[in-house]
């Protein structure tokens, strides 16, 4: 009489995958993909700029189409799937959230850096008052200790979040690290726990299975790996793997496979693979936005950009501290010069 395990999948190709297509989604493409996801019975479909509501900007990249039109398009073809949005306080506002809710969105995911959950209080509160299912989304979670992660998750829970996600934004976590973190969250947090993985170390699927084994019940996937960096846990593969394990997702395997092959693959500018750049981001555990800055600094100081990124990872430098990149580059250049003088 044991209850079968069930996992609810959120498809992020129309949000995280926006990075992979340089925010060039059109209403037509969103209609085609959302329609297919709805027919395959994917429970949640996230639609937003890659950096969340109102992310369209010079800094984060301009969207080709206003995301409200894309959200409206997705809602219009979904009768079983629920449409979700991502919001990063500081980029998106309460007003953006209200607009999204008025278009028929059913879930809001409020995302902060893993040590900054306190900035999510107001937005979680508003999302709840709008009647939305509300997720607290702790990004770059490899940068926090297990204790810090639990503490931050409990903050989001106290603000009213229905679900807390541990987000491996840089694809930097190893399976045993995922296990340890999800187990701690399950032990100390009362709401459902989710996991969002990236594939920079080729571990999105392995980490996802470790998360499920440790008790996560919400999982993000991106069809055909359509996500930032090396992409996310590949949704159609996840559905196949969970089916093999006897875990219910409610998603139609053949339909999601066909959608990946016939609709999503053709719109990708290039297939998602683990390149030198995405690998070094996962290995160093740093923000993808550091990459270009590090490469420029490396060229200027005639050093290897990987040395800069790895040192930034060691120092746990976060977004907004981009000025550190040149400091680190200068230090490495000095050190390598003094080494070559003494050798």
**CB contact burial 71-89 (16+ within 10 A = b; e otherwise):** bbbbbbbbeebbbbbbbbb
Q: How far apart, in whole angstroms, are the C-alpha atoms of residue 97 and residue 82?
A: 16
**Paired tokens of 103:** 């278009």
302 binds its own copies (CB under 8 A): no
Helix axes 235-244, 204-214, angle to 10 degrees: 50
DSSP tag of 219: E
Looking up tokens 């999503």, which residue turns up? 264
104 binds its own copies (CB under 8 A): no
209 binds its own copies (CB under 8 A): yes
Tell the smallest beta-carbon distance from residue 207 to its own copies (Å): 8
List the interface residues with its own copies, window 165-194 (CB under 8 A).
174-175
Looking up tokens 């340089």, which residue turns up? 22
Residues that contact its own copies, how many (by CB under 8 A): 44
Q: How many CB atoms lie within 10 A of CB 211?
A: 30
Whose CA is closest to 237, among 250, 248, 225?
A: 225
Closer by beta carbon to its own copies, 61 or else 175: 175
138 φ/ψ angles, rounded to the nearest 5 degrees: -95, 105
28 binds its own copies (CB under 8 A): no
Annotated catalytic, 19? yes
263 binds its own copies (CB under 8 A): no
Binding segment for its own copies (CB under 8 A), chosen from 43-51, 66-74, 143-151, 270-278, is: 270-278
233 binds its own copies (CB under 8 A): yes
Closer by beta carbon to its own copies, 53 or else 238: 238
Q: Are 16 and 49 a contacting pair, CB within 8 Å?
A: no
215 binds its own copies (CB under 8 A): no
266 binds its own copies (CB under 8 A): no
β-pair partners for 58: none
Binding site for Mn(2+): which residues?
A: 16, 196, 198
Q: So which residues are the catalytic ones?
A: 19
Contacts with its own copies by CB under 8 A lie at 174-175, 199, 201-207, 209-210, 224-225, 233-234, 236-238, 240-241, 243-245, 253-254, 257-258, 260-261, 265, 270-276, 279-280, 282-283, 304, 306
């Amino acid at each position: 009489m044991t209850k079968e395990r069930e996992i609810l999948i959120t498809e992020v190709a129309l949000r995280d995958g926006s990075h992979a297509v340089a925010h060039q989604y059109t209403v037509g493409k969103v209609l085609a993909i959302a329609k297919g996801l709805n027919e395959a019975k994917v429970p949640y479909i996230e639609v937003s700029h890659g950096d969340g509501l109102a992310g369209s900007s010079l800094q984060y990249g301009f969207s080709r189409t206003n995301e409200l039109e894309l959200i409206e398009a997705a809602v219009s073809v979904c009768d079983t799937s629920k449409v979700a949005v991502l919001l990063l306080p500081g980029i998106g506002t309460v007003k953006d959230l209200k607009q999204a809710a008025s278009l028929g969105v059913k879930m809001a995911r409020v995302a902060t850096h893993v040590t900054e959950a306190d900035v999510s209080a107001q937005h979680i509160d508003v999302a709840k008052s709008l009647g939305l299912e509300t997720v607290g989304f702790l990004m770059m979670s490899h940068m926090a200790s297990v204790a810090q992660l639990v503490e931050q998750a409990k903050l989001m829970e106290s603000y009213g979040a229905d679900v807390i996600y541990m987000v491996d934004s840089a694809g930097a976590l190893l399976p045993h690290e995922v296990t340890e973190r999800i187990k701690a969250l399950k032990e100390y947090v009362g709401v459902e726990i989710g996991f969002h993985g990236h594939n920079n170390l080729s571990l999105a699927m392995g980490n996802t299975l470790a998360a499920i084994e440790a008790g996560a019940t919400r999982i993000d996937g991106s069809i055909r790996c359509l996500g930032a960096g090396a992409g996310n846990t590949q949704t159609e593969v996840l559905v196949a793997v969970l089916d093999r394990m006897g875990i219910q997702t409610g998603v139609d395997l053949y339909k999601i496979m066909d959608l990946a092959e016939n609709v999503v693959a053709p719109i990708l500018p290039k297939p998602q693979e683990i390149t030198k750049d995405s690998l070094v981001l996962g290995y160093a555990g740093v923000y993808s936005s550091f990459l270009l800055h590090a490469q420029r600094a490396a060229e200027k100081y005639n050093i290897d950009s990987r040395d800069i990124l790895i040192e930034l990872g060691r120092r746990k430098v976060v977004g907004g501290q981009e000025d550190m990149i040149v400091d680190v580059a200068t230090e490495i250049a000095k050190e390598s010069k003094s080494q070559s003088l003494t050798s």
